[in-house]
Chain A
Amino acid sequence: MYKINTIEPFWWALFGAGGFIAALLLPAHILVNGIIWPNLAPGDPTVSARRLANLLGNPIIKLYLLALISLPLFHWAHRFRYFLFDLGLHGGRMGVAVLCYGLAVLGTIAAIVVLLGL
């Protein structure tokens, strides 16, 4: 085998996974959770507190939501890091990497904490 001087493939893999999740799953969720559900009649059982509590209490749903939230964050981190390079950022590249991936890690931890607590 061979060695390369960077762990970039690791971040790129997360970027790819996140991109897939964002492309495949997010549009439907944004449509329903962001637009349709908020516009349903207040008494609609689809969005009753009881149903939502049931949904959010389900461990499989929690795992699904973890993927839905965490992976797009890593997708953002990698893409945004390079977006900053495109805008002309040269120095402080290590700091930018730590900031971007760090935020994605923090977001993932926050998601785990919130989802566990539901």
Chain B
Amino acid sequence: MADPTMTFAVTRYRPPDDREPVTQTYTIPYNEDWVVLDALQYIKDHHDGTLSFRWSCHMGICGSCGMMVNGEPKLTCAAFLRDYYPHGVKVEPLANFPVIRDLVVDIEDFMNKLQEVKPYIIRDDVDTAPIGKGHEFRQSPEETEDFRQFSMCINCMLCYSACPVYGMEKSFIGPAAIALAHRYNMDSRDKGRNLRMPVIGNSEGIWECTFVGECSVVCPKHVDPAAAIQRSKLATTNDFMMGMVMPWRKR
């Protein structure tokens, strides 16, 4: 009996020869332990050394290997062949992003947006607080729990790929960026909420979101960016209403 194989339909885009992305089919040996990333590496090693794709840790923590697998945004290091066998697998570059080459997308927009939300502790005594015992920024385990899940983001961009709003409106700041902002807003050590809210609370931020919820469904780290966004909407609306009713109030 011949060794089992699997068919992979992989997007290739090799400008300037390819005017647009095309699909190329490869047959690879089926191995029960393999993930889609292994299959891509096999293709690169044995079929076509020019196949380009991002990857690094091969264990679901670096966030590099996100691609569309049978139409779903997935980390290819976490997509097991045995879940697809004996059917074929289609691998495409992450949806909603421009394609640079083959399976490599342009992530610059995403990187810019992450930085825009000021993803760091903001307090006015960071430079002046003395270092040493008695001057730590203390935090109880419960306070850590308030933001912990939102800190688990590995910047893999699967959520941007799953979000139809981002697909249609490039100006949308997006799920991961808002989840990141929320992570700091919920951190008891941070005092920078009023600097972040204008960034995520403007018309290109949380208000573009219509709670499709797909971002949270595809997140490999269970960050639940949809929750972060809706909670930010609630917080902003609260501030807005308070600001109208009590404009003198400083928060």
Contacts and interface: CB of A to CB of B under 8 A. Distances in A.
Interface in A74-118: 82, 85-86, 88
Interface residues on B, range: 20 to 34
Nearest to B197: A2
A12 B237 contact: yes
A10 interface: yes
A66 to B, nearest CB: 21
Interface in A8-35: 8-10, 12-13, 16
Contact of A1 (B164, B207, B250): B250
Nearest to B233: A12
Contact of B203 (A2, A6, A10, A13): A6
A3 interface: yes
B240 interface: yes
Interface string B168-204: 1100000000000000000000000011011001110
A3 B240 CA distance: 9
Given A13-B241, A88-B168, A8 B207 contact: yes
Interface centre among A1, A6, A10, A88 (most CB of B within 10 A): A1
B237 A6 contact: no
B167 to A, nearest CB: 10
B239 interface: yes
A8 B241 CA distance: 11
A5 to B, nearest CB: 5
Query: B169, B195, B201 — which one has the most chain A CB atoms within 10 A of its CB?
Result: B201
A4 B250 contact: no
A1 B202 contact: no
Given A1-B251, A86-B164, A9 B197 contact: no
B135 interface: no
B52 interface: no
Nearest to B203: A6
Nearest to B240: A9
B148 to A, nearest CB: 26
A1 B194 contact: yes
A4 B202 contact: yes
Contacts of A4: 197-198, 201-202, 236, 240
A10 to B, nearest CB: 7
Nearest to B243: A1
25 contacts: A1-B239, A1-B249, A1-B250, A2-B194, A2-B195, A2-B197, A2-B239, A4-B198, A4-B201, A4-B202, A5-B202, A6-B202, A6-B203, A9-B201, A9-B240, A9-B241, A10-B240, A12-B207, A12-B233, A13-B240, A82-B210, A85-B168, A86-B165, A86-B210, A88-B168
Query: Which 5 residue pairs across A and B have the least CB separation, nearest first?
Result: A9-B240, A9-B237, A8-B207, A6-B203, A4-B201
